[in-house]
Amino acid sequence: MQNSAIVLIGGAGKTGSRIADRLTRKGLDFRFASRSSAHPFDWEKRNDWPAALAGANSAYVSFQPDLSVSWAADAIDALARTAIGCGLSHIVLLSGRGEEGAQRAEEALKASGIGFTILRASWFCQNFSEGAFAEQIAAGELALPAGDVREPFIDAADIADAAVAALTDPRHMGKTYELTGPRALTFREAVAEISAACGRDIAYGQISMAEFKETLGDADLPEGVIELLGELFTQVLDGRNSLVTNGVADILGRPARDFGAYARDVAINGTWRI
């Protein structure tokens, strides 16, 4: 498997770009599959999938917009069966914790008959620095519809390391790993750690869902993204995912990276400067 061609579906995202960097350093053969790649890949244009997958043996899949959407499981099933027809033997799927739609997609992947590894990840640390919340933090206040629920935020670098391990080591075939950070924090506590790392005051305010959606709309985010974020805060962030797991240690043989270390590194890089 180490010398096989790897396809990164969703390669430009928070995890895919980091996976690509690691595969490059290892000298492994890979390519991106996206709307802008040489052989375009679009989740809604299935006739194009065989050309995007041809010649590969394995794939990393980050589904867009989110595995919680109603058609995700069918798309993952179709992708897996197309992959088998193209000669692929293994798919590493990025999944989410506590999402019923994600679980349906996982089951569809397993039922397809292809070799699989499922990486079921908690909320990314990088949502604070590379996502919709980065500008608010830089401006000095993050306002979200989240109270005292704790989330074991995970560094996308740990997910990338886990994905590379799964793609290059057959011992991870057929396994599901729940990947979390080593501590569960409230959003208020996470912002306090970011504030400490930056050396300046950054406030956290709890707002209603209606206020949250209005703020996202003012930021010109697509309606679909707004609805997905709304679902995350109303359904997934209800305490079901607060448990810390040993998934990172199980696949990588080392502890997960702490949120504080992530915050300090990002602060040094200047991402949150006004």
What is the per-residue pLDDT across 150-185, written as a single tens digit (0 to 9) for each? Answer: 999 999 999 999 999 999 999 999 999 999 999 999
Question: How many C-beta neighbours within 10 Å does residue 201 have?
Answer: 8
**Residue 3: band (very low, low, confident or very high) from pLDDT cuts 50, 70, 90:** very low
CA distance 62 to 209: 27
DSSP 44: T
pLDDT score of 2 more than 70: no
Give me the residue spans of the domains in the chain.
6-123+155-180+242-257
Return the pLDDT at 94.
Answer: 98
- Report DSSP letters for 12-30, one per residue: TSTTHHHHHHHHHHHT--E
Return the pLDDT at 142.
Answer: 95
For tokens 């992959």, the residue is: 83
CA distance 112 to 71: 16
For tokens 């949120």, the residue is: 259
Q: How many helices (H) and strands (E) does the chain have?
A: 11, 8
Alpha helices in the chain (DSSP H): 16-26, 49-53, 72-85, 100-112, 134-139, 156-168, 187-198, 209-218, 223-231, 247-252, 259-269
Least confident of 33-47, 48-62, 213-227: 213-227
Evaluated on CA atoms 259, 244, 178, 167, the torsion sign reads positive
* Cβ-proximal residues to 150 (8 Å cutoff; 6+ apart), any chain: 184, 185, 186, 239, 242
Among residues 16, 12, 83, the alpha carbon closest in space to that of 49 is found at: 83
Homologous superfamily (CATH) of 6-123+155-180+242-257 is NAD(P)-binding Rossmann-like Domain (3.40.50.720)
**Residue 11: band (very low, low, confident or very high) from pLDDT cuts 50, 70, 90:** low
Q: Which residue has the higher pLDDT, 238 or 224?
A: 238
CA distance 78 to 72: 10
CA distance 67 to 35: 19
Is residue 191 within 8 Å of residue 129, measured between CB atoms?
no
**Residue 215: band (very low, low, confident or very high) from pLDDT cuts 50, 70, 90:** confident
pLDDT score of 53 more than 70: yes
Among residues 227, 212, 235, the alpha carbon closest in space to that of 96 is found at: 235
pLDDT per residue over 236-260, tens digit each? Answer: 888 999 999 999 999 999 999 999 9
Question: Is the pTM above the cut of 0.75?
Answer: yes
Is residue 34 within 8 Å of residue 49, measured between CB atoms?
no
Question: Phi then psi for 251, rounded to 5 degrees?
Answer: -95, -30
